[in-house]
Amino acid sequence: MALTARALWLVLLGIVPVVLRPAASTVWLWLLLCAVVAGVDAWLAPRPRALHLERALPPSVRLGESVRTSLLVTNPGTRTAVGVLRDAWPPSAGAELTRHTLRLPGGERTRLTTVLTPTRRGDRHADRVTLRLRGPLGVAARQASVGVPGRLRVLHAFPSRRHIPSRLAVLRQLDGRAAMRTRGQGTEFDSLRDYVEGDDVRSIDWRATARRRDLVVRTWQPEQHRRIIIVLDSSRTSAGRIGDAPRLDSGMDAALFLTAIAGHARDRIHLIAGDRVVRAHVSGHDRVRTLHDAISELAPVEAQLVEADWRLLATEVSRVGTQRALVVLITPLESSALEEGLLPVLPALAARHRVVVASVSDPAVDRLRAGRGSATEVYAAAAAERTVALRGRTATAFRSLGVEVLDEPPDRLPLALVDHYLALKRQGLL
C-alpha cells in the first residue's frame, strides 16, 4: 500500500470542516474519514501481481554502447491498471529512465523500454520490477515488487580492435613472402613463383629455375596450426589502476587482440584467465567463434584480492598439450609477487614452450622519475627508480631463463605483443 499526493490534499481539505466546527473531535473524525477513503481506494486498486511481465533483452553489449531493454506488460484483468512501473537496474548499468507511467486497459498489453548505457564491464543483473497501481480515486495505491530476471553481459570495449586491419595486412605480406630463415620442420611448402627483385636469393629454387630458364623462387606458407596459450593473471596485482582502467583490462585488450590476429593466421588459441582458480578457459578451432567466446567469457572476470597460484596456472597450461606452443603470460612485473609465485614454475614452462611475459607498465612511474623540483619530488623519483630497478631485476631474471619480457604502457602493450608474435611468425620460431 502506498499513498499518493491526493491523500495529502484530502487531509488538507479538512481545513474547511475544522474552521466551521473548531473542535478536536472534528480533526479525529476527518482523519478517520481520510483513513477509510484511503483504505477502500487501496482495496479497490488492481493487484500488481496479476499483471504479466516479460522481459526482452539482448544478451550482451560492448562497453560504451547503448542497448534497449523492454518489458512487455500484459493486463489480463478487466479493469484499467493506472500507476507507475520501475524497472530497477544497478547504477553501473546506466539506465536512462527507469520509471514509466502505466495506463493499461483490461486485456491489453504494452511495451515499456529502458535504455541502458553500461559504465563498467561485467554482468549486470536486473533487479526487481516494482508496480504501484492506483485505486479508482487515486488516493492510495497497491505496490508490489516482482522479480523479472534479466542479465546483460557488458563486454570489454576492446579498443585495440582498430589496429586489426593494419596487422592483418602485415600477416598477408607474410603469407606471400615466406622468406624463412630455417627450413625443414615447421615450414610448409606453398608454391613456386617468379623471382622479383628483393626476394631472398637463398629461396631460389635452382631445379625449377633450370627447368623454366627463368629465376623461380620457392614460397612457403607461414606456419599454421601452432598453439598459442595466453594466460591472463587476474590476481591482486592486476587490480592496480593505470589511468582510467585497471591493469587487467589492458591485459585483456592485448589478449583479445592477439586472439583476433592469431585466429586469422590459423593458429590455435587457448585463453586462460585465473588467479587461485581458473576463471575462464576458451579454446577452439573456429577463429570467429573463438574470439567471440573469448570476449564473452572474459567479460565477467574481475581482479581478485588474492595471490596468483602460478603452479595451478602452469598445470592448466600443460593440460592443453605437450606440443611446443607460444605461452603468453600477461601479468604485471611486480617483483615480490612474481619472484615467489611465477619464478619457481617458469624454468619448466620455458623448457617446453616459448614463453613471453607481457606486462602493463605505468607511465606515471616515468613521470615520477623525472621529478627534480623539491626534496619531496626527489624522494619520489628515487622511489620510482627503485620500482624500475626492481622490475628490471625481475625482467633480467626472466630473460636469463630464455623468456621474452614485454613491459609496455597500456596503450602500447597490445601492439607490442602482436608485433612480437608476428616477428616470431616471420622468423618461423613458433
Helix, strand, or coil here: 227? strand
Question: Would you say 210 or 370 has its CB closer to other proteins?
Answer: 370
Least distance in Å: CB of 113 to other proteins? 18
Output 219 or 359, the one with its CB closest to other proteins.
359
The smaller minimum CB distance to other proteins, of residues 5 and 201, is found at: 5
Gyration radius of the chain's alpha carbons = 33
Nearest to 249 by CA among 211, 290, 298: 298
Strand positions, DSSP E, 25-108: 52-56, 60-62, 67-74, 81-87, 99-104
- Give 77 or 392: the residue with its C-beta nearer to other proteins: 392
Nearer to other proteins, 5 or 196 (CB): 5
Instruction: Pick between residue 199 and residue 302 the one whose CB is nearest to other proteins.
Output: 302
| Least CB distance to other proteins at residue 407 (A) | 13
Q: Which residues pair with 328 in a beta bridge?
A: 230, 356
For the bound state, the minimum distance from the C-beta of residue 252 to other proteins, rounded and expressed in Å, comes to 13
How does strand 188-194 pair with strand 268-274? Answer: unpaired
DSSP 364: H
CB of 399 to other proteins, least distance (A): 12
Q: Taking CA 269 as the corner, what is the angle to CA 318 and CA 307, rounded to the nearest 5 degrees? A: 55
Shortest Cβ 146–other proteins spacing (Å): 10
C-beta of 342 vs 381, nearer to other proteins: 381
Cβ at position 159, least distance to other proteins in Å: 18
Following DSSP, what letter does each residue of 379-415 receive, concatenated?
HHHHHHHHHHHHHHHHHHHHHHTT-EEEEE-TTTHHH
DSSP letter at 131? Answer: E
For 254-319, give the DSSP string: HHHHHHHHHHHTT-EEEEEEESSSEEEEEEES-HHHHHHHHHHHHTT----SS---HHHHHHHHHH
CB atoms within 10 A of CB 9: 10
| Smallest gap from residue 273 Cβ to other proteins (A) | 14
